[in-house]
Structure 1
Amino acid sequence: MPEFPVNASPIQQSLNPLQQILGYTEPIFNASMAGAAGGALAAAVSAAGGFGMLGIGGNATKEWIDNEAALAASSGRGWGAGLMAWVLAKNLEPLEQVLDHGPSFVCISFGEPGPAASLAHESGALVGMQVGNAAELSRALEDDIDVVICRGNEGGGHGRNEVSTLPLLQLALERTGKPVIAAGGLATAAGVAAVLGAGASAAWIGTRFAAATESTSHRNIKDSIGAAGLDDTVYTRAFDIAQRIDWPVQYGGRALRNDFSDTWAENLEALGAAVKADDSLTTSINGARAEGDTSLAPVYAGQSAGLSTTGQSAAEIIADLSRFRSLLRQAASRWDTK
């Protein structure tokens, strides 16, 4: 575990320990979304006072990691990277490569983080782990994990579909003194105020940043997020099965409903048979992803898509979310009985 700052200056005393170590002022992380959180988004979030995260997918090439990590570091402020433990179990090279660029925080999730967590610690980085149920929380309380990210099932992209954000956050805060970050369903200043008021050290926000101007998401995906409502998502493994991606079965994905999910989300056995029979379905959905055809391609987004808009920069999003301070002051004043 890291040593948290002592004898802090008056300015530092206004920051929580995780802020003091990682050097951000706004307790807002962009989620490390593969396919959306490239180096430009991470740099823009960090430059705006938040903490920028680079998302490294399972097929990221050496050249891509070098280019995007250098871009993430270009703000001159702290930044981090998120990787998948089940991918690193086969090959630690993507982590070794990103560590060469000096991230101060590494999130290793969706599987056993052990060897990867040790390697990240050796580089001097803090290590975080996303958890989606009580069992994963127990694993994150072991000594090799510094920061716990409680990801509720409202969140977009891959994760478990078992517990919502607030119950999981409350359990984590009761069980550990480690910094806890809340994730899943957060997109507004009110949402940020809610989790910070409960005791979280920061808010981990994905869907709203996926629609940001600096996101690497296709324009059509951003537009789809902006047009979606709260109840327009579905949790399914159908997109992974169709693309032949070996995500562990316990980690489905929350995405916007579309023609593909309407056909296959509740019919996974038939989908598996169709994919096994020939390559046409896989070819079609891979082509749809490349072309931004959101009727077939997955648009990974959480329920907070109904609270997100397009056309905003990361700096504008951070500025809007930073209004959580006034909301907390108003709440404290409203409920203060002294």
Structure 2
Amino acid sequence: MGPHPAVAAIRLAVRRVLHDVLTLTPPASVPSAAGDRSPLVLVACSGGADSMALASALAFEAPRLGIRAGGVTVDHGLQEGSDLRASEVAIRLASFGLDPVETVTVTVGRDGGPEAAARDARYAALDAVADRYGAAAVLLGHTRDDQAETVLLGLARGSGIRSLSGMATASGAGGRYRRPFLGLDRQTARKACLAQSLPVWDDPHNTDPAYTRSRVRHEALPVLEKALGKGVVEALARTAQLSRDDADALDSWAAAVEPSVRDDAGGLEVAGLFALPPAVRRRVIRRAVIEAGSPAGSLFARHIEEVDRLITGWRGQGAINLPGRVAVRRQGGRLVLRQG
């Protein structure tokens, strides 16, 4: 008799990712204590159902493929007793046979709001651990439901097609971060934990209406499903993939055409830009602005639209000041970008 269907589903999802990691990854740069240089894959685990199910699947599948498996839990220090919970999660990860297992305590800043600041601190910690061990990949427990929430948030913010593309199955430098569960719903992960008698922790922040994502999860999506019927989550996740395909194609087009509108001084030729389709032109502008020193995470659609008006709505306006102290002005048929 085989495993519970939910357990089989999570293991298959992880197995597929590990096969991909195995074919693309050289031996680990940092061997185990016993000198084993086989690839190391880490799982980021908060103790919630999604990441706990992911950790259990990694622990089961990795040894069968000759891959070492470890775990990381991040203590954000935002709730009373968070250090004790992090220690409990680390003990559970070790009980699965994961090695190494690390608990990392971070200080959450304020930039971009509490959710963004916590995410930035978490990824910085995961990057540091992965670099230290030479890990081939870090698995994250985002599900199809998380993807739907991300798309809905992007739609509400009017952030464009790249935002609608949601989370990628692989992201970060060299595709370090992998999301095996993007094709599975949240209930499958929870059922897998129940079937394996795995204790899980339900983060109260996930139900706190003070957080935007929590309101989307518990208020906006249920209203949409009530009005439109079941299948909204699946449709939004499908929108993410279609949008990602389109955004990738437009990004490739912009990268290919950018040299043709660049001048020797690093500026952009207005006539060449004007001839491009708007979606491609704005991508070229964004690439140039980032290269000039503007932080990608601080650039929004409104910034790029202001620069675009120097091309399409020129009335002699002055320089556009962008994040990172980058100024863009139109001068003699060129866009001049300077950081000062």
TM-score if structure 1 supplies the norm length? 0.33
Q: Give the structure with the larger helix fraction.
A: 2
